[in-house]
Amino acid sequence: MFATVGVGFYGLAVFLRPLQDENGWSNAAVSGATGLYFSVSGLTGFAVGPLIDRKGPVRFMVGGVLLVGVSGILLSLVGELWQLYAVYLLQAVAFGLSGSVAVNSVMSRWFITKRAKAMSISSTGVSLGGVILSPVGTWLVERGGVALAALFMGSLVLIVGLPIVWTVIVWDPAEVGLEPDGGAPDPKVDRANLGDDVQRRVWSRAEASRTRAFWTILIAFVLVLLAQTGFLLHQIAFLTDRLGSANAAALALSTTAFGSIVARFALGQVADRLDKRLMSAALFVVQGSAVLGLLVFDNRIITYALVMIVGFTIGNVYMMQTLLVAEIFGLVSMGTVFGVISLAAQIGSGLGPFAVGWIEDATGNYTLPFVLGASLTLLSGLIILFAQPPKRLPVAQAAQATVAAR
C-alpha cells in the first residue's frame, strides 16, 4: 500500500502542476485525466469484485501492482495530452485491480471484531506514501522534471510492491490453518453485526441495492470523496502560491498524510467499539470546517495546522467506508457490495479534481470550488446518519446462508 497507493494516488497530486508547466496544458485538461483515472479504477473494481469473492484477490493484485509500476514508468515518456490520458487509463485499471476492493477483501476475512484496529495499522502504508513520496517526488521533479520522478516512482512500485504481493499475501486465514482475529475475538466488541448470520450472509448486488443502508453509504461517500479528492489533488497547486514554493506545498501535503497516520491509528484502537455512523458524521464535519478555515486564514502556521486537521480525517474517511460496508453486508459478499459503492465513490473522486480544476480555470482561484466541496462534505455528515443496518435474517435462513457461504 505504501508503494502502490503512494505512487498511484499521491503521485497524481505531485504531477498535477508540473505536467501543466512542462507541456502548457490547462488545469482542466490535466485534471480531466485525473478524473478519468478515478472513474476507470472504480469501474475495474466493480468488475472484479464478484470474482474476488469467488476466487480471491491475489492474482488481481499481482497484475495490478505490475501495471501500476509499468504505467508509472511510462509517464516519464509522455509528451502529448492523449498520451497522458492513455497512461492514466492503464494506471487506473491497475489501481482498480490492486486497490481498495482487493485489499479490503483480504482485511475483512482476516479480522472481524478487530477489523478497525487492523485496518488502521495496515492503512498506515497509504499515508506513509504521502508523507515520504510526495516530497521525494516533488524534489525529483525539480531536479529532472516529470520524467525523472515518474521513472523513480514507477520502479519503486515494482521493486517494493510486487515481491510482497507475489510471495506474502494470503486471502483467507483458513488457507494457512488460521482463524479470523487470531482465533481470539475481542470480548469488548458488540457482536450484534459481527455474528455469522450477518458476516456470512450472501448478498447479491440487487438485494443490497434495495436497502436504505446501501444508498445512504453510497451517496454520503460519493459526496465526501468528491470534495476530499478534489482538495487533496489540488492542495500542492493551491498552497504553492500561498507558501511560496512547491517544496513548502509538498511539505504541507506530507503534513496532511502524517495527520492521517496519527488519527487513523488512534481512532482504530477504539473504533471497533463505537457507532461507525456517528464517527463518520463527526469526521465529515471536521473535514469540511477545516477546508473552510484554510480559505479564511491566510497564515503559514495556521495553514499547516489546518492541513494536518484535514489529514486527521482523510484516512479515517476511507476506513469508515470500508468498516460500514463490512459490518452491514458481511465478509463473504465484501467484493460484490463494496465494488459497487467503491465505483460510485471513485467516480465522485474523479469528478472532484476535474470540477475543482475547471472552476479554478473559470474563476482564477480556488475559493469557490473549495467552498462548494466543504458544503458537500458537511451535507454528507447528515446523510450518513441514516445508514441503518437492514433487517437481520431469521435464524434458519441465516444458518442456511452460512452453510452455503462456507
Count of CB atoms situated within 10 Å of the CB of 364: 9
CB–CB of 180/173 below 8 Å? Answer: yes
Let me know the angle formed at the C-alpha of 55 by 336 and 59, rounded to the nearest 5 degrees: 105
What's the rounded Cα separation, in Å, for the pair 227 and 29?
19
What's the rounded Cα separation, in Å, for the pair 217 and 133?
31
Give the three cell numbers for residue 48.
Answer: 472484479
- Coil, strand or helix: which one is 288? helix
pLDDT at 155: 93
Cα 158–chain centre separation: 21
Give the three cell numbers for residue 70.
Answer: 509499468
> Distances in Å between the alpha carbon of 242 and those of 124, 135, 246, 355?
29, 17, 10, 21
> Distances in Å between the alpha carbon of 213 and those of 81, 100, 231, 250?
41, 20, 27, 38
CB–CB of 230/288 below 8 Å? Answer: no
Asked if CATH classification 1.20.1250.20 holds for the domain at 2-170+189-405, the reply, yes or no, is yes
Give the three cell numbers for residue 289.
Answer: 470546517
Listing DSSP states for 165-222 in one string gives HHHT--S-GGGGT--GGGG---TTS--TTTSHHHHT----HHHHTTSHHHHHHHHHHH
Report pTM: 0.71
What's the rounded Cα separation, in Å, for the pair 245 and 236?
9
What's the rounded Cα separation, in Å, for the pair 402 and 303?
51
> Distances in Å between the alpha carbon of 166 and those of 55, 60, 66, 160, 163?
16, 11, 10, 11, 5
Give the three cell numbers for residue 368.
Answer: 469557490
Of the candidates 148, 126, 171, 174, the one whose C-alpha atom is nearest the C-alpha of residue 76 is 148
What is the full per-residue pLDDT of the chain (406 aa) written as tens digits? 888 887 877 777 788 888 888 888 887 888 888 878 888 888 888 888 888 888 888 889 999 999 989 998 999 898 899 999 999 999 999 988 887 788 888 888 898 888 888 888 887 787 787 778 878 888 899 889 989 999 998 999 899 888 998 888 888 898 899 988 887 766 655 555 556 666 678 888 889 889 999 999 999 999 999 999 888 888 888 888 788 787 788 778 778 778 878 888 788 778 788 888 899 999 999 999 999 998 888 888 888 888 888 888 887 888 888 888 888 887 777 778 888 888 888 888 888 888 888 898 889 888 899 999 999 999 999 999 998 877 655 444 444 444 444 4
Of the candidates 78, 368, 386, 375, the one whose C-alpha atom is nearest the C-alpha of residue 213 is 386
- Beta carbons within 8 Å of 245's beta carbon, 6+ residues apart: none
pLDDT at 284: 95
